[in-house]
Amino acid sequence: MLNYWGIDNQGNIKIVVSYKLLDMGLNNRVISKFVFFLFVGYAFHSMAMAQHVPVGTIDRKEVVERHTILITKYDSLSSLSVGNGVFAFTADVTGLQTFPDDYAKGVPLGTESEWGWHSFPNEKGYKYEEVLKTYHFNGKEVKYAVEMKQPIQNKEAVDYFRLNPHRLQLGNIGFEITLKNGKLASINDIENIHQTLNVWTGELKSSFSIENIPVEVITYCHQDKDEIAVRVKSDLIESGRIAIRLRFPYPTHGWKDVGNNWTSEEMHNSTIVSQTQMSAVIKHSIDSTTYFANLGWNITTVIKEKSKHYFVFVPSKNTKSFEFSCQFIKSKVVSANSSFAATKENNQLKWNEFWNSGGAIEFAGSTDKRAFELERRVVLSQYLTKIQCAGNNPPQETGLTYNSWYGRPHLEMFWWHAVHYALWGRIDLLEKSLSWYNKAITTAKQIAERQGCEGLRWPKMTDNEGRETPSSVGSFLLWQQPHLIYFAELCYRNKSDDAVLKRYKDIVFATADFMASYPYYDSSKGKYILGKGVQAAQERFKPEETYNPAYELAYWHWALSIAQLWRERLHLPPNKKWDTVSKQLSPLTIKDGKYLFTENGTDSYTNPRYATDHPSVLGAFGMLPRTHLLDTAIMQNTFNWVLDNWTWKDTWGWDFPMTAMTATRLGMPNKAIDALFMDIKTNTFLTNGHNYKDERLPIYLPANGGILTAVALMCAGYDDNNNDEPGIPKDGKWKVRWEGLKKIP
């Protein structure tokens, strides 16, 4: 019956059976025992494969490169990006941005940087005070910057401060390919598409043909400059039928900007300010904003200004290949562009450093069909968050691809964008952006004082300078407030260094000061109340009526206790106010054995309106560890109801990782995996690795950060967790090996 058994190159036990054991005179009972012990050994081997291995054990290159992206046909949702964290360039199937209009409703072909912002002139002299509205909460008057268009407000002022400043689309770089009939090629003329993005090296390689003539393009983004470098090979060059086009779009005035607004030509200026046969510098000005495109070539090139803001670069015809680079810069005074070869080398070095740093996970050998897809999402999410969200400021939810919400960062989403860096051993990428909070101190202090509170109240919808955007939702949100304390604690956990405490202590303490002064003391209950005047993370309740949302209460308590712990580490006495508020904070409200989403939401489980949007009640024991406010049995009941009754089609991409995190902490690894793979449109992950929500938000990067955070929790666990891989099923179908991951609080 048993021929042989062994372990193959992937670590899988192989058993080959036949009837030869019967020929040896062994009876069925003996054979059964023999096979039984082999399967016991297999089971122990399977468990051993779900393990934390020493750093350097996993073949990281093999894991990453098996998820090299392959595109073989035009799909407006499959554009691919190269970038460095502060600058990104998104290309179509040609390796450049040749067809921006065809991708406008998919994943747009954007070129954005951290520094590229613009404001329309404030010609009517609007003042920020005009967007403030006075509310009466808990016996005092407070002012919020809202967009409710009430008569007391100046609607035009509200619109101006929502729109300005906005992030710019810096420029569109594409091919002009001429057909035999003299017309320019369209997307329908692109044939034999074969495009790969190797995220291990940052190389975007695009092959296609025009009228049976092949074209090969390699595109890189320099990892230290806002610059792309490109190599093109084709017989079309020799016949003068291929050129490079650079166009400068105009801002859209709208919530969304995909970089293809070619109107308003008279409202901005584009000028060649220097030129040689192998280089050019073009100045682009919109109102008071000016920047430059610095272009370089390896061969003689003719530059033509086809129309306003439209430049064409025609390479010499005596070659079948050429290389060029384009660097976007704020100042004309810059270093020379890098060559294609230097940029390629720069990518290989920097991406090798990235992938060989921090954590790694592989699911090779798993028999659950979802394992390979989870590994793909993990690999591509690391790449996407590195190129789109690893800058010096909080990123917008659509990264550096296109504008959503005018290009503004949302500070409550910063948790999902950035926490994973600490858990994956890349704390430097988290700390890089934490310095932004220092720029936002002035605004945060003004908001707190305006609302009669101490310390710093962090804005929700903001910009690089930390200014507050008027919003009928965002101005009432609270859950971004404790993030700074969470981030600082992650930094300390990674380094255990007093220098970290000294670096962040003032801003941590000022954050806690607001948190202690904001709650209202209800003497009849002897409790502190969060609200009224709260927009819960589950944005389905009226802020004028909302108080004591469950997730925010739990986060408030945890963050105040951590701030107090920081005082202890610094040998400072406890802050009495923080201690009083923390001890007397309202409990999470319970009804029918489940946590209400907010205390005022007594119909949380009966009103269909409230089973939509973010199921943030789960965040109280998913994103957060257990506090004394929480009973796990009641959270289990809450989780079960949410899982079975939530309107999941009305959720967002980070809701699924959050649900998986709660399932993991509740000891349900199978439910954690199921949560990550719910068959819901908003849980779609495209070929390019992006999470898709809808046409309005075809990419949604908080979901990518969420995947990395959840999987780190599921593998490395959390404080006081004694189970190996608490979020990985123990059914024998999952084999996971991981290294370099950190526990979450």
| pLDDT at 149 (0 to 100) | 58
Does residue 717 surpass a pLDDT of 50?
Answer: yes
Of 3-7, 91-95, 678-682, where does mean pLDDT reach its minimum? Answer: 3-7
Does residue 668 surpass a pLDDT of 50?
Answer: yes
Are the C-beta atoms of 511 and 483 separated by less than 8 Å? no
Across the range 224-239, mean pLDDT stands at: 97
- pLDDT category at 40 given cuts 50, 70, 90 is very low
C-alpha closest to that of 480 among 465, 503, 462: 462
Q: How does pLDDT run across 157-177, given as a tens digit for each residue?
A: 999 999 999 999 999 999 999
3-state SS, residue 422: helix
Does residue 478 surpass a pLDDT of 60?
Answer: yes
Across the range 37-46, mean pLDDT stands at: 40
- pLDDT category at 44 given cuts 50, 70, 90 is very low
Across the range 53-71, mean pLDDT stands at: 95
Does residue 592 surpass a pLDDT of 90?
Answer: yes
Does residue 6 surpass a pLDDT of 60?
Answer: no
Number of separate helices (H) and strands (E) present in the chain: 20, 31
Report the percent of the chain where pLDDT is more than 90: 88
* Average pLDDT, rounded, for the chain: 92
Looking up tokens 């005018």, which residue turns up?
Answer: 406
Rounded Cα–Cα distance for residues 115 and 658 (Å): 32
Across the range 110-115, mean pLDDT stands at: 98
- pLDDT category at 7 given cuts 50, 70, 90 is very low
- The residue ranking higher by pLDDT, 284 or 55, is 284
Across the range 81-89, mean pLDDT stands at: 98
Q: How does pLDDT run across 376-404, given as a tens digit for each residue?
A: 999 999 999 999 999 999 999 999 999 99
Q: How does pLDDT run across 401-431, given as a tens digit for each residue?
A: 999 999 999 999 999 999 999 999 999 999 9
Are the C-beta atoms of 160 and 126 separated by less than 8 Å? yes
Assign a CATH topology to domain 84-118+166-350: Beta-galactosidase; Chain A, domain 5 (2.70.98)
Order across the sheet with 737-739: list the strands: 51-52, 737-739, 360-362
Of 77-81, 346-350, 406-410, 722-726, where does mean pLDDT reach its minimum? Answer: 722-726
State CA 736 to chain mean position distance.
Answer: 24
Across the range 618-636, mean pLDDT stands at: 96
Report the percent of the chain where pLDDT is more than 70: 92
- The residue ranking higher by pLDDT, 151 or 688, is 688
Of 32-41, 243-252, 471-480, 541-550, where does mean pLDDT reach its minimum? Answer: 32-41
Give me the torsion for CA of 504, 506, 509, 511, rounded to 10°: -80
Across the range 32-37, mean pLDDT stands at: 40
| CA end-to-end distance (rounded Å), the chain | 51
Does residue 33 surpass a pLDDT of 50?
Answer: no
Looking up tokens 């050998």, which residue turns up?
Answer: 365
| pLDDT at 24 (0 to 100) | 32
pTM of the shown model: 0.92
Rounded Cα–Cα distance for residues 48 and 598 (Å): 43
Give me the torsion for CA of 97, 101, 105, 110, rounded to 10°: 30
Q: How does pLDDT run across 251-267, given as a tens digit for each residue?
A: 999 999 999 999 999 99
Angle between helix 655-665 and helix 632-645 axes, rounded to 10 deg: 140
Phi and psi angles of residue 309, each rounded to the nearest 5 degrees, phi first = 65, 20
Handedness of CA 710, 711, 714, 717 (dihedral sign): negative
Does residue 499 surpass a pLDDT of 70?
Answer: yes
Q: How does pLDDT run across 554-564, given as a tens digit for each residue?
A: 999 999 999 99
